[in-house]
Amino acid sequence: MRSDEIAIRAEGLGKAYTIGRGPRATTLAERLVKAARHSFTPDTGERFWALRDASFEIPVGQAVGIIGRNGAGKSTLLKLLSRITAPSTGWAELHGRVGSLIEVGTGFHPELTGRENVYLNGAILGMRRREVTQRFDEIVAFAGIERFLDTPVKRFSSGMYTRLAFAVAAHLDAEILVVDEVLAVGDQEFQRRCLGKMGEVANAGRTILFVSHSLHAISTLTSRTLVLEGGRIAFDGTTSAGLAFYRALQADGADSVHAYRAPAGRTGVHVAEGRVVTSIADGMHRHGEPFALSFTLDVPEPVSQLCFSVHIHDETDRAVNHFWIYGDGPAFRSATGRFEVRIDVPTYRLAMGRYTVAVWVTDRATHQIFEHLTNLCPFEVTMDGLARADYDWSPDHMVYAEDYTFRVTRI
């Protein structure tokens, strides 16, 4: 590939920090104290590699996702590429102007107003004032901060800061857009607009580096994914394969977070176990495919009219689905013992996003609540592998599970 077709090239890129040495001496007195201490206690600071041996090339116009567990080195990589910090080893070259949204506060002068910072960022990118003016109204409208435009940004809330910073980075003429998980600061509606705008940027042929814990956003916006683990690039390939690799990495050597088990010693009528049965892998469901919920219910004492109810909650804690089983069937009628409750949804068309499960176990006759559990069995809905035309990005697009079956079995 010719050098003029490369937007980003990195070779042996690494960043090391020394931990355990305490603050740096800045005055003569501090230096004398530190020298005296060193004569009695050797300085044994540990060298910690936040990122090591990162080598890759990103062609012009490619959208690349970067995922990994906390502390894997994702943000460090973006800071090195954005020239916010210098590498300890290796080098990176970027061909084109870079718009970065990495940390709240990066790139803005706190004493300047929102208006002044828009023009300052344009000047940093090498744009003329009239070029920034042409885009100014669009930037302000996207950020939604018209009332505070002439207020120093040091008085902005983190959400206002983020909205303006993203609007500037996405609308000005940067050939490379670098975005970290800082989008999580915004509200749900703003996040949707940001993802939509990044989709437009990607379709316009600009290069995007996108760090996120939201796998559905990664699968929607990017065609290639880097998976970081322990400060190194553990995977570099297609996004679909990268997500599968990352899910396997998360599951390796650990109990699944997508299942529930009651605490030891739990007594009375209660849920002993629960899990979601998703279509792709543990905790990952493809929009429109079969889905199931499976629970083990302990009923050590007769209940006049047992009711088992399951709610699916979205990221805003809104209940988007409600499944329930009343105790008027022969399996539940005043019966005791252990039961398996299985709910099957042949075609589960949830909007893309992250979801959790809430469970109620009650007596409909007396209104007694035996158990109410929330935030169980988290799972994610993706469009990975489906054509974008099959999905409406509208936040109101939600096809509820109107057709489901349930089965109660004594075990």
Q: Is the pLDDT of residue 63 over 80?
A: yes
Domain boundary assignment for the chain: 3-251, 259-410
3-state secondary structure of 244: helix
Residue 197 CB neighbours (<10 A): 17
In the CATH scheme, what is the code of domain 259-410? 2.60.40.2550
Angle between helices 129-143 and 114-124 (to 10 degrees): 130
Give tens-digit pLDDT for 140-158: 998 888 889 999 988 887 7
Give tens-digit pLDDT for 166-222: 888 788 778 898 888 655 555 667 777 777 888 888 888 889 999 887 777 788 788
Read off the pTM: 0.59
Maximum mean pLDDT: which of 8-12, 16-20, 138-142: 8-12
Give tens-digit pLDDT for 293-347: 999 999 888 888 888 889 898 876 678 888 877 655 555 667 788 888 899 888 8
Helix (H) or strand (E) holding 33: helix 28-40
Task: Give the pair of three-digit tokens for residue 183.
Answer: 């989008």
Q: How many residues in total does the chain contain?
A: 411
Q: How far apart are CA 97 and CA 93, in angstroms?
A: 12
**pLDDT, the chain, mean:** 80
Helix (H) or strand (E) holding 129: helix 129-143
Token match 């529930």: residue? 260
258, 377 contact by CB (below 8 A)? yes
pLDDT at 396: 42
What is the per-residue DSSP string for 158-218? HHHHHHHHHHHHHHS--SEEEE-GGGGGS-HHHHHHHHHHHHHHHHTT-EEEEE-S-HHHH
pLDDT at 207: 93
Give tens-digit pLDDT for 168-179: 878 877 889 888
pLDDT at 328: 52
Task: Give the pair of three-digit tokens for residue 255.
Answer: 């109990």
Q: Is the pLDDT of residue 391 over 60?
A: no
Q: Is the CATH number 3.40.50.300 carried by domain 3-251?
A: yes
Amino acid 43 reads: D
Task: Give the pair of three-digit tokens for residue 201.
Answer: 């940027």
